[in-house]
Each structure stands twice: as structure tokens, then as C-alpha cells.
Structure 1
């Protein structure tokens, strides 16, 4: 729940809307938001602690952060960070900076690289950030510095707070000594995506334990096999959204974890114990259609029911 809020925003009314998002941009290019209210409230310090403690206790990571931000956050120099246009979260800034990246094949019919309006937009942005205007010789230099300012210079104080939060949780020291660990603490978004095979590989399926059946009045093993088969079929045919809903209903987060246990019980509705990664499925389903319709209705409640219907 904590990491979900960190990635999707907090419901804090700071006069800038109903939600407060700490990271903005597109997947794998997220950067800290430049809100001064959030910065002055030390929310990025809190975010660093949240990320660190989630890592230490085997919780979900913050996926999709820009490699340039991770590089500086891990102790690298801003001058050596690799920045791309996709790292610029503000679309207006990105479109203006992108004009400088036009190659020779993209020139207009008159042969001019940039129109007067384009030059005026670039110069206006450069002057607002205390950079020199565009000339015939500084195009590449200006492109690099505009990217540097848009992605790193405007977020350096946020990055410092994140680093301090990681220090408070003793994770930054690990990142400083082992830079390769950064890909584990801040994985790519593609690594956070669910796939049927990854989910199936982490499931502990019901087994035939006759003594427990007699003691706890559990359904017969043949029934367990039927319900487990329905679940396997659902996982193999579900789309990305349905898989994430299922995993979140199961373990409380959208990323599969080890030892995701399935139990078939006498009950009316599917339920879960997210802390113990246990999914309890009723034994009364006799058709796959009945099973999947009921399961889809239940897993859609994960945002409001914390794994319970």
C-alpha cells in the first residue's frame, strides 16, 4: 500500500489538486516532480525512506525511474549522466527542446533548420533558465544543457532528499559500494510487468494431504485439482491488467512474490491473506465460466478492499 501510494500519489490537498504525485513522466523515464511545496515538506526525504525500507524487507520496488536520476542518486556526477528527450516530463519543454534535435533530413522546404518561431521558442526557454540564446555554433551545446537543466538541475534538491532518505534506511551506503544493486532497488518497468509464466512459477499448488482433509473437512483432492486447473487457465489467458489485479488481490502488490500459495476451501467468495500470500478459492465452482466471472469481480476490488471482497 505504501509503495502504491508513492507511485500513484497521495491524497493530500496542498492547493494544487486532489492528488499529490511525487514522480512524473513516462515509464522508465520518471523524474521527481519539481513542486516546491512537496520539496519544502520533505516528502522526498520520506519517499527515500519508504523505498529503502521496502527494499530491506523484501517489499516491492519503485519501478520506471529514469536512469539519469538513478545515476545521480547513486553518487554519479550530473555531467556524466546520459539524458534522453523522454526524460523530460513536461511535454511543452520536451517539444521545444526537441526542435534542436532535428537532423538534416527533417529540414523544411526552404532548407532552413529552424523557423523564426521555433528559434524564438528555444531562446525564450533558454533565457528563462539563464542559458545563452541559440547561435549558429552552439546548437549541440545548448541541446545538452537544456536537457541537463530540465531533468537534473531542476530536481537536484529532490534527489538530495531522496538520497538522505536512502541513507536513513542504510540503503544508500549499499548503492555507493555496489552500483549494480541500483537495478534491483530501481528496476525497469518491463521487469515490473506481470507475465503468465512468472506468476505460475511462483505458485504453490494444493497437494493431496488426506489427514488434513479429514481434520479440517477440506474438499476432496479431485475438487482441488479442478479449481487449480481453472486458476491456471485464467492466469494463462488473462491480459496484463487482469494479471496485475489478481496478483495485487493475492499479495497486496502488482509484482509476483515467491511462495504464492493456493488453498481450495468451503466458502462463498475468493478471499486472500495478503500478508501470508495465500489465495483461498471456493470449491463450489463447476464450470470455468462461473469461476472466471466470479474471480474477475473479486480481484477488481483490490484497490478498495486490500485483498478482500
Structure 2
């Protein structure tokens, strides 16, 4: 990133509705003629937090929406720009999204977060990643799981089988194939037709979306990197299994409170209190799911990318709080039972979308 030049300023109002906050994200990344490598400053209206923790929170929020969907609806349920199975996600086949340049926006989001060492888009289809990296579409290896269309998957399963096809099955496959100017099925062309149908269903349908994604990535200069260094593609688009969180991942990075932390004379919590609360936190982490640990890390640090060190302080207070800029989790000393501690920490973690982890 550049250290000079005009700064980018991203602003989000925590008092707005979820849809309004999402619109702030889209509007920011729809801006034209922007140097996305410029320094970034983020502001959360309605929250006193400042510094790098705010930047981490904002970028994490942006990538979370891209990964799991926006609340504004086009049809039923959330609006997903990427759909399908884990590690087989493909760009949504929506002409509305393409006409709105939403995949250019998505490319900018992905590249911008990557520039700031932020969260990545995980679980994308390897075939789509191959093309995004500049590979020839015809050379991509496409899995049936990459296809979101159940009719196509059923036809491919029939073609891949060894049983003789009935007349009705042949008509069903022909009806599908004719839409892509492909011939009817014969015993000689079953394998070839299988590959062609998958290619059209996965890569031909997403040609416009991938082109826009590449444009957005190019504007952040990340596309140049992955084109010259294809080995960086797994870093930009990691598989879901590569970002699973384990208790050991967090525990080995924690700096636990000691009897006289930093010689702070205002620290009047006892060693007994520090040991008890530290033990509760360790138990919480050891029994948490990967998703829960991810949410804890976001509350503690500002996003789900683990830092080298995570700090714990035991203090006098009402509820768990975090100083994300300092990677510090501040836990009240008054909890006597683990159940009460767990309840309070879960409540604090759930406040992240609306209160930046401050309760």
C-alpha cells in the first residue's frame, strides 16, 4: 500500500439499519477512479472506538456480508453473490447483479481486504479460482459439486453412470443440452457431453461475473500479483478447511494476566481472581466450536485473522469488553461460576455487529 497521497475514508453509522449499513459498504466500493492502494481510515459513527481496531471491524463486516449474504433482498432470503456448497462456491447466476456491476464491487472488496491483511473470501470453486488467476477456462477441472443447478446435476449423474438410459432420460438430457447448442446423448459421447454440460453450467454462465471480479481485483492491483505469482492464489482464496479455528490456535497466542501486570498500581485484582477468570476463559475456548472461536476472535481483535499475540486482563467491571486496537480482552473479576461467565461472554460477543464489542 502507498503511504502518501489521498486517504480513503470509510464511514459506517452503527445507528443505521442493517440495510443502510450495507448500502454504505456498496456505495464506498462503487466509487470510480479510486486508488485502492491508498491509506485507509475507518470511522464508526455512534461508537467511541478509534484506530486499527475500527479498520479491522469494518473490513471484517464487509467480507462477512460478501461471504454470507446481504440483508437487502432480491427474491426470497438473503442476497448471495456467491452460492453453492462449501469449497465449491460460484458467482450467482444473476443478470441483475452483473448489470449493477456488483461483481466489480466484490472484486474491489476482496482485493482491498487482502491489501490490509484482512479476511478472505473462502470456499470458492477451484475451477473459478483457476479462471480468476488467468487460467484458460477449457483447462479448468470442474467438479459436479461446482454446479448449483439440480437439473444439471441430475443429468450429469445420469451421464456418468453406466446404466443404459431410458428414452425419457435421453429426452431430459437433450432438452438441457439443446440450450447450449449441444447434441443429443449417445453411448459414444456420454463422457464428452458430461464435461461440456458441466463447463457451460459452471464457467459459461459465470463468464460475465468472473470478468467483473477480475476487473475489481485489477483495480486494487491484487490481480497483477496473483497473475505473476500463481502460488499466492490459495492465500487470496483459501479453502474453508484452511480457516478452521481450533482451541490450540487461540490458546498458544494468549498472554495470560500475571500477579502484577505491567506494575500497574491501579490493578487491584487478586491473583486468585486472575487465576479463576483465566481458567474460565480457557475452559470456554477448549469447549467452543470453530464458529464460536471465530466470533470470539472478532470480538477480541476486530476481525477473524489471528494476531501473533492476544492479551487478557482481569478487571473490575460489569461485562466483558475488548480493546481491539490493543488485542486485549478485559474480563470482569466478579464471576464465581463458569456458567455465569459463559453467559456474559456470549452476550458480549453477540454485541459485535451493533456495538463493536463494547457492552
- TM over 0.5, yes or no? yes
Counterpart-to-counterpart distance in 2, 1:39 and 1:276: 40
CA distance in 2, matches of 1:80, 1:232: 48
CA gap of 1:42–1:28, structure 2 versus 1, over 3 A, is same
Contact 1:23 1:33 in 2 (8 A): yes
Retained in 2: the 8 A contact 1:192–1:255? no
- Superposed CA RMSD in Å reads 1.9
Instruction: Note if contact 2:123-2:237 (Cα within 8 Å) is conserved in structure 1.
Output: yes
Q: Using a 3 Å threshold, how does the CA distance of structure 1 residues 223 and 53 change in structure 2: closer, same or farther?
A: same
Moved over 4 A (4+): none
1:260 to 310, 333, 337: 310
Q: CA deviation at 1:275?
A: 4.4
Deviations 1:197-231 (A, max 9, x none): 112123232234356431x3342333222211211
Are residue 64 (structure 1) and residue 123 (structure 2) matched? yes
Contact 2:93 2:205 in 1 (8 A): yes
How many Å apart are 1:260 and its aligned residue? 2.5
Going from structure 1 to structure 2, the CA distance change for 1:32 and 1:131 (only over 3 Å counts) comes to same
Rate the CA distance shift 1:89–1:275 in 2: closer, same or farther, 3 A: farther
Contact 1:71/1:81 (<8 A) preserved:
yes
With structure 2 as the length reference, what TM-score do the two structures score? 0.78
Deviation at 1:18, TM superposition (A): 5.4
Once residues 17 and 129 of structure 1 are traced to their aligned partners in structure 2, the CA distance between those partners, rounded to angstroms, is: 28
8 Å Cα contact 2:91/2:206 also seen in 1 = yes
For the pair 1:213 / 2:272, whether they are aligned, the reply is no
Structure 2: stretches of 5+ with no match in the other structure: 1-60
Do the aligned residues in 1 keep the contact of 2:124 with 2:239 (CA within 8 Å)?
yes
Distance in 1 between the 2:91 and 2:292 partners?
29
Query: 1 or 2, which has the higher helix percentage?
Result: 1
Secondary structure in 2 matching 1:152: helix
> Which of 47, 62, 66 is residue 2 of structure 1 equivalent to?
62
Say how many residue pairs are matched.
299
- The answer for the alignment partner of 1:110 in structure 2 is none
The answer (yes or no) to whether the contact 2:114–2:236 under 8 Å persists in 1 is yes
Which of 11, 16, 19 does residue 78 from structure 2 map onto?
A: 19
